[in-house]
Amino acid sequence: MGVLTGRTALVTGGGRGIGRGIAERLGRDGARVAVHYGSNEAAAKETVAAIEAAGGSAFAIGVELGLPGDAEALWESFDRQADGLDILVNNAGIGTSRSFDEIDETEYDKVFAVNVRAPHFISRLGASRLRDGGRVINISSGLARNAAMPDKMAYAMTKGALDVFTRDLSKVLGPRGITVNSVAPGIIDTDSTAEFLHGTEDGWAQASAISALGRVGTPADVADVVAFLASDDGRWITGSWVDATGGSLM
């Protein structure tokens, strides 16, 4: 019996990268996991298959975020396959943005639509489905605090907004025993960072040097933090920003 046996989780963007790591970890801990994807159905199905192969239970939900009605469509699909929710992980997001001098209004609006508006309304509509004592975990970024990278300004702004959302939503849902926290990764070895980490001569070395621990993070490093907050052991932590950068902000 896993620590999350009998609970249902939804991980947005759960088919790849950090989201897949989170989905698989929650599945190993016993949760039934809804694996959301925006466009890559094959990746989501691979994640579902991996969870099931490990003895867990999962299903896929395909909804493109950042469009009008996205939250409603997501929950309609979820409701066809599950009855109630215990853990909501708002992980899906656009992981970068062009610089201050280059970004146009279309890209700016898209980044905010996916990274800020979607989690807000997914959580708002999901609140009625969340059982008392549940969890909301938002995936932020080290760039929202002390690590300034002006070439990704708009992206960092969205994560700052998500952190304010986390703080204030914890007060809204707290009376029901629902905790709300942000988890902030640093540089993680995923397909979204592959070009920098593996496609440049010294990308891996540069990324390793940023961390106080001297290595590049893995999806499992972040997933383990999320799993702690999702468990009963994390019951007294809410409204918090949890640094999961491997000491990259020091």
Residues carrying an active site annotation: 155
79, amino acid identity: D
CA distance 96 to 109: 13
Supply the Cα-derived Rg of the chain in whole angstroms: 17
Q: How far is CA 194 from the centre of its chain?
A: 19
**Three-point CA angle 231, 236, 237, nearest 5°:** 85
Q: DSSP character for 199? A: H
Q: Which of 83, 86, 78 is nearest to 131 (CA)?
A: 86
Q: Which of 209, 226, 225, 208 is nearest to 217 (CA)?
A: 208
Positive or negative, the CA dihedral 67, 71, 73, 77 is positive
Q: Helix, strand, or coil here: 135?
A: strand
**Three-point CA angle 151, 120, 44, nearest 5°:** 80
Q: Which of 94, 142, 139, 89 is nearest to 114 (CA)?
A: 94
In the numeric block, which tokens belong to residue 248?
A: 């990259």
CA distance 176 to 159: 26
